[in-house]
Structure 1
Amino acid sequence: MPVSHLIDGLNEIVGRIVSVVAILFAGIIIYDVFMRYVLGQPTRWAFDVTKQLYGFYFVMLGGYALRHQAHVRVDLLTARMGPGLRRWVEVAGYVIFFFPFAWVFARRSWDFAMTSWRQGEVTYGAVQLPVYPLKIAMFAAACLLLIQGVSEVLKLVLTRSPKPETPDVG
């Protein structure tokens, strides 16, 4: 499944790169705490920057989390199903719930991003940061999530179900 491998690889690369952002915003928070409580000179920009970075970090890891099956699941019903039926219930869940959500997320975040870009939207804090990069990241994240869903469905549909185990007679 070359398409699935390509999508998985893309989300893996994005996830690993974006995970570095956590180190960056943790460093900024430590710097701000040091400036505020040790030197008595709080920064005006650190809170707004870390808020933007955290939003970027959180939203961009959706496809990566789905790739690694780290999303919340309710397995109450599927836990009692056989592997074949479970796979088809998961496919139905993607078709009925996931893809419509991901499509609306992509469509609306595109609208938000373009409106923000046209208006030159900025934050309301002490330092006025542009908002459109975060909203463009929301659109990119929605697209990554959507294509990762395609990859997951391809894996469910095209992977052979495991053969039933036969006991050793030896």
Structure 2
Amino acid sequence: MLLRTLDSINEIIGKLISLFAIVFAGVIIYEVFMRYALHQPTRWSFDVTKQLYGFYFIMLGAYALKHQAHVRVDLLIQRFSPAVQRWVEVVGYLVFFFPFVWIFLTRSYAFAERSFAQGETTYGAVQIPVYPLKMAMVVAAALLLIQGIVTVIRLIFHKEAEHHGS
């Protein structure tokens, strides 16, 4: 029950964040129209699209992990039995994934805290606050950590049906 609840959090957030692709595309289309049809490029669109893309990209990491959409290289372990493959994956999470996510979480927290305290903005023509994106990095790291824990629990207890997206 808890694993499904945690999965559903990342599922809902992933689907909500995916709506930003529409906003992101709208801003780009608007800028292209302004620049090439009206010969009046905007001063803000580049910074806004960078921020939206960064937010979109970083916030979908846990959703991608839930749906096993991250790049994997299974050339070495594909010859092993499914049980050995699961344990190799668990070790991989313990040795590589969790240390990376912990560093990502703690460093992005310090990064966001400093950005907020300084009222950091972009350097472009229109100064857009940067700290919301840096705070999103903290949230994204926490969601990734939660999804990683769920994935490892499923690998250890071999909950195959739940592990593959249900």
CA distance in 2, matches of 1:62, 1:7: 14
Aligned partner of 1:90 in structure 2 is 89
Percent identity between matched residues is: 63
Aligned partner of 1:40 in structure 2 is 39
Aligned partner of 2:18 in structure 1 is 19
Q: Report Cα offsets for 1:18-45 as digits up to 9, x if no partner.
A: 0010111111100011111111111111
What letter is aligned with 1:141?
A
Whether contact under 8 Å (1:116, 1:131) holds in the other structure is: yes
2:19 alignment partner, SS class: helix
Q: Does 1:146 align with 2:145?
A: yes
Aligned partner of 1:158 in structure 2 is 157
The alignment's C-alpha RMSD in Å is 1.3
Whether contact under 8 Å (1:84, 1:161) holds in the other structure is: no
Whether contact under 8 Å (1:11, 1:63) holds in the other structure is: yes
2:41 alignment partner, SS class: coil
Whether contact under 8 Å (1:83, 1:161) holds in the other structure is: no
Aligned partner of 2:69 in structure 1 is 70
1:70 alignment partner, SS class: coil
Greater gyration radius? 1
Aligned partner of 1:61 in structure 2 is 60
1:159 CA drift (Å):
2.3
Aligned partner of 1:137 in structure 2 is 136
What letter is aligned with 1:63?
A
1:152 CA drift (Å):
0.3
1:106 alignment partner, SS class: helix
Q: 5+ residue gaps in structure 1? A: 163-170
Q: Report Cα offsets for 1:45-64 as digits up to 9, x if no partner.
A: 11110110000000000000
TM-score normalised by structure 1 residue count: 0.92
Whether contact under 8 Å (2:121, 2:130) holds in the other structure is: yes
CA distance in 2, matches of 1:155, 1:12: 17
Which has the larger displacement, 112-121 or 34-43? 34-43
Aligned partner of 2:117 in structure 1 is 118
Whether contact under 8 Å (2:154, 2:160) holds in the other structure is: no
CA distance in 2, matches of 1:117, 1:18: 22
TM-score normalised by structure 2 residue count: 0.94
What letter is aligned with 2:17?
V
Whether contact under 8 Å (1:25, 1:54) holds in the other structure is: yes
Count of aligned pairs: 161
CA distance in 2, matches of 1:17, 1:87: 31
* Structure 1 ranges of 4+ moved more than 3 A: none
2:140 alignment partner, SS class: helix
